[in-house]
Amino acid sequence: MTKRSIKKKNIVTTLKVGVIALYRGRILLIREQNNSTHRYAWNIIKGSFEPSKDDSILDTAIREAEEEANAKIKLKYFLANYYLLDGRKALMMFTFVADLLDPRVRISPRKVQAQYGCDKVIKAKLFTKQQLLRLKPEDFIGMRGYLATRDYLKGIKFPLSMIVILPPK
């Protein structure tokens, strides 16, 4: 073992899921508060895989869309995986593109959001590709959401079959 691998031995990894939700060429973003800066900014739908609620990261994507924007979605394809190492925390975010089945999304009341642990979402909006191109990294909560929107606009896509879900032992 090298010194580098020993130093990083106690890293905690969190599995995240992001969703680019589409409706007639528009992309759904939510406006939420950044936990560290307390500033409101745009973001894609995203959240953590919760084994007590989700059988797979595909289920997480569907659940998070419902929790954050009362959005019903149908997953279309896998976009990308983003990895962030921040001190002793590692985030791995699998990002999907989905069809938004009904454009009438709405933000849940704060009491309902608090039940899900996401009580800082204040708005949901459908953006055209041109509007999305005008947004800068600082308009987003973080780089993962910004990069996901850019990768979507570049046309990056992989089949959902890239996500192989193995049965438990």
Structural domains of the chain, ranges and CATH numbers in brackets: 12-162 (3.90.79.10)
- pLDDT tens-digit map of 46-56: 999 999 999 99
Helix, coil or strand: residue 48: strand
Residue 166 amino acid letter? L
Helix, coil or strand: residue 41: strand
d(CA 4, CA 35): 30
Token pair belonging to 116: 């899900």
- pLDDT tens-digit map of 129-138: 999 999 999 9
- pLDDT tens-digit map of 55-90: 999 999 999 999 888 999 999 999 999 998 888 889
